[in-house]
Amino acid sequence: MPLRRIAIILSIALGLVSVPYVAMSYYSLSNFATLAYERNGSIAGLVQADGNPKLGAQVQVYTIDTLFFRKSGTTDQQGRYQIDGLAPGRYVVLFQSAGYASEWYDDVASAQTATSVIVNSNQVRSGINAQLERPRAPLAAAESSVGSITSNPKTGEITVSMLSSSRSAIRITRSIICSSGSPSNMTLHLTTTTVTRNYPMLRIGQTNSYEATIPQADVQRGNLSVRTTCSGSTQETPIGQIVLYDPSGVVTNARSGDPVPGARVQLFEIPNGEPKTSAIDNRPDTCHTVDTRPGNDWSSLPAARDPQGSLGIIADSDTGRIDPPLNPQQTTPNGRYGWDVAGGCWYVVVQAPGYQTTVSPIVGVPPEVTDLDLTLEPAPVYLPMIRR
């Protein structure tokens, strides 16, 4: 296509119809690429840690609607950064550095609660700063033979998560020191919606650590706290929670049918998605449920668009919309995974070494979904070509 015709098309697309045709004929495609780039904006700011500028902190920019990664940068010796080439729009910014708790602008733990940053053409949006903090040590240690154990770097509270159908005893250990005198009457409390159970905490040797075990039969969803008496004054300290969830599905090898343990399963949510009310519900932004889907399983529905999250947003652990508050999670030894989720439209992306990535269909909740079973195809093996 002649250069002049390209110039005319680009002038219409970019709204440059007022530019004389003769002048347009001298523009090259690289000129227009430069022009488009110059219309973009920037985000800049200062990152500090321990009260000092932080060198080498990572700054990542995501679109606010889909949490799709756009660009990243690194702070200099003065702790400053600037990320250029951002199309006009709204973004959220993530700050990370080894040894510090990650945070979103402005000093929050989740993308969904982050303050959005508006980027305009040919402008630098400055003042997007962060003060990184050391992660808080867990308020207690926990051990169990099944499930997972995590801690919130902002609060130190622990979460013990396990399948409702596969529970085990949980041992809780906590260091207890009184400002004066020795602690007494140490008890671990598990408070559910119906009852509070108490478990005496015993001292471990000559240390300041005390432990108690919740028997398997007593394990229920609820809050954990430790009550201690120091110098006649009793104090109860929340230390975390137990989360039980029903399995959402099982991941298996597509060839052998064997379960795939340790697969990485990440949960995504469709913004403003709503479950269908019937099989003929054709409203936009709705998704099938176990009651409206065609057939007895999810196999006839297409996969969500792609594994990069351009269709949905990563389900955030800190919003209270998913239990356990762990995303991604790994499949159990029998290939199971699962979350309890709030009402809406959801899908998962599954990855494992030696397998191709699998993306599930979009499923609606409620009612609960316990059969989102997925298969992983082994990755193809390419043999080297030998020339003769």
Give the three-class secondary structure for 74: strand
Q: Is residue 196 part of a domain?
A: yes
Rg of the Cα atoms in the chain: 27
Cα dihedral across residues 317, 318, 319, 322: positive or negative: positive
Which residue, 78, 109, 132, sits at the end of a domain?
132
- Tokens 């594994």: give the residue: 307
260 and 353 belong to one structural domain: yes
Look at residue 39 in the predicted model and tell me its pLDDT. 80
Residue 168 gets which letter from DSSP? -
97 and 28 belong to one structural domain: no
177 and 205 belong to one structural domain: yes
237 and 251 belong to one structural domain: no
Q: Is residue 361 part of a domain?
A: yes
Look at residue 150 in the predicted model and tell me its pLDDT. 83
Q: Is residue 387 part of a domain?
A: no
288 and 214 belong to one structural domain: no
354: left (phi over 0), alpha (psi -120 to 50) or beta: left
Nearest to 244 by CA among 269, 270, 222, 211: 222
CA distance 271 to 274: 9
Task: Give the pTM.
Answer: 0.60
CA distance 342 to 68: 22
CATH number of domain containing 64: 2.60.40.10
How would you write the pLDDT of the chain (388 residues) with one tens digit per residue? 444 443 433 343 444 443 333 333 334 444 444 445 458 999 999 999 999 999 999 999 988 866 677 899 999 999 999 999 999 999 999 999 988 988 899 998 777 778 999 999 999 999 999 999 998 999 999 999 887 888 888 789 998 988 887 889 999 999 999 988 889 999 999 999 899 999 999 999 999 999 999 999 999 989 999 999 998 899 999 999 998 877 799 999 999 999 999 999 989 888 888 999 999 999 988 999 999 999 999 999 999 875 444 577 788 776 678 888 778 888 888 898 999 888 899 999 999 999 999 999 999 999 999 999 999 999 887 666 666 6
53 and 68 belong to one structural domain: yes
DSSP string covering 79-139, please?
SEEEEEEEPSEEEEEEEE-TTS--EETTTBS-STTSPPEEE-TT-EE----EEE-PPPPPS
Q: Is residue 84 part of a domain?
A: yes
Q: Is residue 386 part of a domain?
A: no
CA distance 208 to 200: 15
- Tokens 């700011």: give the residue: 45
28 and 80 belong to one structural domain: no
Residue 216 gets which letter from DSSP? G
251 and 372 belong to one structural domain: yes
If 0-12 CB within 10 Å is exposed, 13-18 middle and 19+ buried, where does residue 135 land?
A: middle
109 and 229 belong to one structural domain: no
Look at residue 29 in the predicted model and tell me its pLDDT. 42
Q: Is residue 135 within 8 Å of residue 100, measured between CB atoms?
A: yes
309 and 228 belong to one structural domain: no
Q: Is residue 314 part of a domain?
A: yes
Name the residue range of residue 17's domain.
3-38
270 and 295 belong to one structural domain: yes
CA distance 214 to 222: 12
Domain count across the chain:
4
